[in-house]
Amino acid sequence: MTANRRFEAGQRLRDIAAGRLRRHCATGAVALDDISVSFFSDRSVTVVSGVSLTILPGEFVTFLGPSGCGKTTLLNLIGGMIRPTTGKVHIDGALVTEPTPVCNIVFQQHSLFGWMRAIDNVAFGPRAMGHPDPRGEAMRFLRLVGLDNHADAYPAALSGGMQQRVAIARALATAPSVLLMDEPFGALDAQTRSIMQEELLKLRRDIAPTVIFVTHDVDEALLLSDRIFVMRAMPGGLKEEITLDGEFRHETDVLRNGKYRKLRQHILTQIREETLKVFNRPDGGR
């Protein structure tokens, strides 16, 4: 791990071929090619500019940055929910133009279908995709997130953490190549969040889609990621790339690790710089 180290796709591919990396997915390669996004609604606002990056199949990549720097916009681009003003997004060589089951998404909160029981939320995808046994498939994924005993509950009767677990099960039940997660644990209390992070890592041992994760929590990013993109603000873009290969994932007490503390401090400084930019702009960063 080195800050600012250019990511070497060739080396990574050789690692995968040699089985040195645990993941061995064939799909889920994401390529952003000179992306910019402007919203013309009021004055022409450029929200994201000049973003190019490649994400490998099965990689866990995090966009880290202050609110308003364009993290959600990047995620929406990759999912096809918005179109870039310039540039192109490809997943596994196919141009992304609209949301399709190649990707799936977990939002911060309240995105479950409130009128469906947990099991029907999870079975929605398998049903839509013509799975022969959608309920059985849904049960399998609910069991995976430890909620098979809450299958018949409506979302409103579940805690925030449980709702997010159902949302994760629902997103995984169609076997997406790329899983987008927009601050998925951001609305949870610290204890629940930390358990959810461990659960997410466990899930990834069995099901290994490419994960593109958005957060403004430095510890969360350091704990989970193979690679972190620290974002710059106004306009949004990539400020720094940090490759970890998940090295802090299995540490029990990261804060005792000097390397972790140094890296954390470095990132915090970077983010603070960007936060001030957003903070000091005329509209206060709304």
The listed partner (ligand ADP, another protein, Mg ion, none) that binds 47, CB under 5 to 8 Å by sort, is ligand ADP
Q: Which of residues 165-194 bind another protein (CB under 8 A)?
A: 170-171, 174, 176
62, β-bridge pairs: 213, 228
Q: Which is nearer to ligand ADP, 99 or 148 (CB)?
A: 99
Query: Is residue 243 part of the contact set for Mg ion (CB under 5 A)?
Result: no
How far is residue 159's CA from residue 156's CA, in Å, rounded to a whole number?
8
Prior bond to 184 cis, omega within 30? no
What is the number of alpha carbons within 13 Å of residue 198 lying toward its C-beta? 8
Candidates 211, 144, 155, 210; CA nearest to 184 is 211
How far is residue 284's CA from residue 177's CA, in Å, rounded to a whole number?
37
DSSP assigned state of 96: P
CB-nearest residue to Mg ion: 72
Q: Which is nearer to another protein, 107 or 248 (CB)?
A: 107
Minimal distance, residue 276 CB to ligand ADP, in Å: 15
Q: For residue 64, how many other CB atoms are within 10 A of its CB?
A: 26
Interface residue with Mg ion, options 62, 72, 197, 270 (CB under 5 A): 72
The listed partner (another protein, Mg ion, ligand ADP, none) that binds 99, CB under 5 to 8 Å by sort, is another protein
Query: Is residue 207 part of the contact set for another protein (CB under 8 A)?
Result: no
What is the number of alpha carbons within 13 Å of residue 50 lying toward its C-beta? 8
Interface residues with another protein (CB under 8 A) are 79, 81, 98-101, 103-105, 107, 110-111, 113-116, 124-125, 127-129, 153-157, 170-171, 174, 176
Interface residues with Mg ion (CB under 5 A) are 72
